[in-house]
Amino acid sequence: MTTKPFTPSQLKALLANPNIVKASQKGITYSVDFKTKFIEEYRLGKLCTFSNIEGF
């Protein structure tokens, strides 16, 4: 499976997000706080969408 790398403008937008610690052309590293919040909401039965989480 081939993935399309992030463009420089997409990387700039990603890095402006406080939930993202690191971003490269191939991937994203999310903050521990974001991961914790995401898991908490998942366990509460909320849909797993980024739009439900503050900052996205």
* Domains in the chain, number: 1
Question: Can you give the C-alpha Rg of the chain in angstroms?
Answer: 13
Query: How far is the C-alpha of 16 from the C-alpha of 37, rounded, in Å?
Result: 19
> pLDDT at position 54, please?
61
> pLDDT at position 7, please?
95
pLDDT category at 56 given cuts 50, 70, 90 is low
> pLDDT at position 29, please?
96
Residue ranges making up the domain that contains 48: 8-52
7-53 pLDDT tens trace: 999 999 999 999 999 999 999 999 999 999 888 888 988 876 655 55
